[in-house]
Amino acid sequence: MTEFRNFIAGSWSEGASQSPNINPSDTRDVIGAAARASRAEAEAAIEAAHAAAPLWAASTPQQRFDVLDRIGTEILERREELGRLLSREEGKILAEGIGEVMRAGQIFKFFAGEALRQSGDVLASVRPGVTVDVRREPVGVVALITPWNFPIAIPTWKVAPALAYGNTVVLKPAELVPGSAHALAEIISRSGLPVGAFNLVGGKGSDIGPVLTSHPKVKAVSFTGSVPTGRGIARACAENLKKVQLEMGGKNPMVVLDDADLDIAVAASLNGAFFSTGQRCTASSRLIVTEGIHDRFVARMTEALRKLVVGDALDPATQIGPVVDERQLAQDLDYVDIARSEGGKVAFGGERLNREKPGFYMAPALITETTPGMRINREEVFGPVASVIRVKDYDEALAVANDSEFGLSSGICTTSLKYASDFKAKAQAGMVMVNLPTAGVDYHVPFGGTKGSSFGPREQGRYAAEFYTTVKTAYTQP
């Protein structure tokens, strides 16, 4: 059995205990045994990162470029192997798994370039003869806590900028998907980083998280995950005066107006709501449709859902893979029942499916006749479940779209430049899509939301420097 171990101070560790890594497409398939780090091991990882911080902070831009470029190259060369591992442990179909691995490699390549593209300011002081220079410096030891739904892309878009800007890292991946993180660590271990500059600790967040958020040598924490956990991390970081970056939930709207191209609207909604088994924080789980196109849209969506193939993530015929585990599947099914009890109509799906292999399969659910106040439209389900809200016109659609505690991604399908422009300006979200799925973003531009979805500086692109660096202002009198 493959062992997915911790990586601390340049050495592999089996941890204090182990947990099985189960294939959600076939629960008989145990992919490996994942190490759970003890609190002492988490502390050792922080100490190792702290010891390595001065050396890596003093590295040249060329050294950082070489390391990150080397990592990105190997990830891309192994994309099919790593994509298969990812799909096997997380459940997204193989094409999506390989695509995610390719994105991880591209992110490392991008931030390799950012290590060279340094910027700063040299200014004249208001005082005669005095010059001022402003530069960015690394924060220090950064703790990264990542979720299970993008098991290599999200760790990558935190690790790559952290290293590019001269920080050292302790990565704590989700316990459900240890294989992808272990593979990433194995690649990084051969990249030429100083010993201790990158560390991996597995296990339960409830065990290790408090160590990462309270240890005085951790200077910043970046977290992607649930809202309750994120709020707890924010409180802990505030108490310990740490820099914090949070990416949390979403209840993303997709507005479909009467003038929309129906083919585009159905394709964008189907992709945004149900691809990757709906397990994306950017999934369009609220479909807000004006009354003139509502019935045709629902009919077309139902027809499209009937044609989707739900099955083993590694089967080339599969279009929707399994839900990640039994607990998440139960939550998804519970929300379908709740929506039904509140008056929603299940137009399609919403039941557990049996396949040749035992797994966590669910028929993607489309729920109609819902209203904005229902729980299905207020709370994040995080599965292949989408609800439809019928509205009168654009103004009502915009109001309903913004009626949420979340504000991550927001979409609209329309052929009207007027409505598209107005929506981009007035949608209360960090990202807005026009005639595109709400899920699916580029790696070289900022990622993040508003309201309860995000807190702190943006991730990805050159905007990542805001979190992973601190600004120093220096004055010189010749």
- Catalytic residue annotation: 247, 281
* Torsion over CA: 28, 78, 196, 146 (sign): negative
DSSP string, 115-147: HH----EEEE-SSTT-EEEEEEEE-SEEEEE--
Query: Residue 251's closest CA among 428, 374, 377, 369?
Result: 377
Residues 6+ apart with CB under 8 A from 218: 46, 141, 142, 143, 170, 212, 242
Rounded Cα distance between 3 and 418, Å, is 56
Rounded Cα distance between 359 and 171, Å, is 29
Instruction: Check if the beta carbon of residue 117 is closer than 8 Å to that of residue 106.
Output: no
Residue 206, Cβ density class (10 Å: 0-12 exposed, 13-18 middle, ≥19 buried): exposed
Residue 365 is encoded by which pair of tokens? 């659910």
Residue 217 is encoded by which pair of tokens? 């040598």
CB atoms within 10 A of CB 354: 9
Rounded Cα distance between 307 and 330, Å, is 24
In which residue are the tokens 């497409």 written? 25
Rounded Cα distance between 227 and 380, Å, is 10
Rounded Cα distance between 281 and 147, Å, is 11
Rounded Cα distance between 219 and 196, Å, is 16
* Torsion over CA: 465, 470, 471, 474 (sign): negative
Rounded Cα distance between 302 and 363, Å, is 12
Single-letter code of the amino acid located at 106: Q
Buried b (16+ CB within 10 A) or exposed e, 64-73: bbbbbbbbbb
Strand partners, 370: 389
